[in-house]
């Protein structure tokens, strides 16, 4: 009877926990502005729906109209979780904590031109227009901008709001080159049937992380981490990842992003 009472009590705790999770409002899941809101929603809403089914939690995709607004929302703690690397900037660092990252090979900061561009070398960008998403972008601004500065190149910066917009500036002839995350550049080129030629490639960096606000209970954060990292092994999850062009997620920690912090410190961000 004692064991039975303990078992009933344990079941009751689990049921109360699940009930509490179900009664709370949706968790705000922020995503850094790399693509338009429409494309971001198309890629992320199926992932968030899967996470909801896997954890019993509810998630709502949120982001600002541009990178600055999304970062400001993060700074005010409006997200429970965020897919970003801007949390490693000095002004935000130390609040949100890494629980997972894209399980892909490292990505690079790139400076590229269209394949038929007459520009052949990085030095030829002196005085030319280079399109960036924003001054807040890590892989597509901080890394390539530091490289241009080290080479003594003074470009004319064109800011487009997000990476898709920056690449579109080059296609439209409004910029001579684009600074981008190498993976985003490859995906954009494939989708638009375009070819780019890299003038610069950085050292490797791990892709964006999923970070969690400290107010989120550890049990919830752990459940979300397990659901994310288990997606690739689940047939339904794997199908969603493939359709959304995600390579899957793996567990990660703060120490995995020390080289990101170093770049932000160098740039004074």
Whether 22 and 133 map to the same domain: the answer is: no
Is the pLDDT confidence value at 228 over 60?
Answer: yes
Last residue of a domain, one of 201, 217, 239: 201
Model confidence at 113, pLDDT cuts 50, 70, 90, reads very high
- pLDDT of 33 over the 50 cut: yes
- Domain end marker among 152, 184, 201: 201
CB atoms within 10 A of CB 253: 12
Average pLDDT over the chain reads 89
Same domain for 164 and 35, yes or no, is no
Tokens 């070819």, located at residue: 195
Structural domain including 136 reads 109-201
What CATH number has the domain bearing residue 232? 3.40.190.10
> Do the bridges between strand 196-201 and strand 109-114 make them parallel or antiparallel, or are there none, so unpaired?
antiparallel
Same domain for 62 and 132? no
79 vs 51: CA distance, rounded Å? 16
Whether residue 228 sits in one domain with residue 100 = yes
- pLDDT above 50 (res 268): yes
Residue that is last in its domain, among 153, 183, 201: 201
pLDDT confidence of 20, banded at 50, 70, 90? very low
Q: Do both 212 and 97 map to the same domain? A: yes
Note the pLDDT of residue 18.
41
Judge whether 110 and 182 are in contact, CB under 8 Å. yes
Nearest-10 Cα torsion for 268, 97, 165, 116: 80
Beta sheet of 97-102, edge-to-edge order:
59-62, 27-31, 81-84, 209-212, 97-102, 249-251
How confident is the model over 208-237, as a mean pLDDT?
A: 97
What local confidence, expressed as pLDDT, does residue 269 receive?
A: 58
Q: Are residues 164 and 191 in the same domain?
A: yes
Same domain, 236 and 116: no
The closest of 174, 167, 208 to 190, measured between CA atoms, is 167
CA atoms of 170 and 179, how far apart (whole Å): 10
Q: What is the pLDDT of residue 216?
A: 98
39 and 113 housed in the same domain = no
pLDDT grade, residue 138 (50/70/90)? confident
Residues 167 and 249 in one domain: no
Count up the domains in the chain and report the number: 2
Which of 103-112, 115-124, 160-169 is most confident?
Answer: 115-124
Q: Do 24 and 82 fall within a single domain?
A: yes
Task: Please tell me the distance from the alpha carbon of residue 195 to that of residue 114, in angstroms, as a whole number.
Answer: 6
SS3 assignment for the chain: CHHHHHHHHHHHHHHHHHHHHHHCCCEEEEECCCCCHHHHHHHHHHHHHHHHHHHCCCEEEECCCCHHHHHHHHHCCCCCEEEECHHHCCCCCCCCEEEEEECCCCECEEEEEECCCCCCCHHHHCCCEEEECCCCCHHHHHHHHHHHHHCCCCCEEEECCCHHHHHHHHHCCCCCEEEEEHHHHHHHHHHHCCCEEEEEECCCECCCEEEECCCCCHHHHHHHHHHHHHHHHCHHHHHHHHHCCCCCEEECCHHHHHHHHHHHHHCCC
Q: Are residues 126 and 250 in the same domain?
A: no
Q: pTM here? A: 0.71
Q: Are residues 113 and 197 in the same domain?
A: yes
Q: What's the rounded mean pLDDT across residues 195-200?
A: 97
């Amino acid at each position: 009877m004692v064991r039975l009472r303990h078992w009933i009590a344990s079941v009751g705790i689990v049921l109360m926990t699940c009930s509490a999770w179900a009664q709370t409002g949706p968790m705000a899941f922020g995503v850094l502005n790399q693509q338009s809101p429409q494309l971001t929603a198309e890629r992320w809403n199926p992932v968030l729906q899967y996470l909801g089914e896997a954890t019993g939690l509810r998630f709502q995709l949120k982001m600002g109209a541009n990178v600055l607004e999304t970062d400001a929302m993060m700074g005010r703690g409006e997200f429970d979780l965020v897919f970003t690397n801007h949390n490693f900037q000095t002004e935000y660092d130390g609040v949100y904590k890494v629980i997972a990252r894209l399980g892909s090979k490292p990505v690079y900061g790139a400076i590229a031109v269209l394949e038929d561009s007459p520009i052949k070398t990085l030095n030829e960008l002196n005085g030319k227009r280079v399109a960036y998403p924003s001054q807040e972008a890590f892989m597509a601004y901080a890394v390539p901008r530091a490289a241009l500065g080290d080479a003594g190149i003074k470009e004319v910066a064109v800011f487009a709001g997000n990476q898709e917009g920056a690449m579109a500036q080059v296609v439209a002839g409004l910029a001579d080159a684009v600074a981008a995350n190498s993976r985003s550049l490859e995906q954009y080129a494939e989708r638009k049937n375009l070819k780019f030629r890299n003038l610069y490639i950085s050292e490797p960096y791990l892709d964006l992380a999923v970070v969690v606000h400290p107010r989120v209970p550890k049990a919830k954060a752990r459940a979300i981490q397990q659901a994310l990292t288990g997606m690739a092994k689940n047939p339904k999850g794997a199908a969603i990842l493939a359709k959304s062009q995600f390579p899957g997620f793996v567990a990660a920690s703060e120490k995995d992003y020390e080289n990101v912090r170093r770049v932000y410190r160098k740039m004074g961000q």
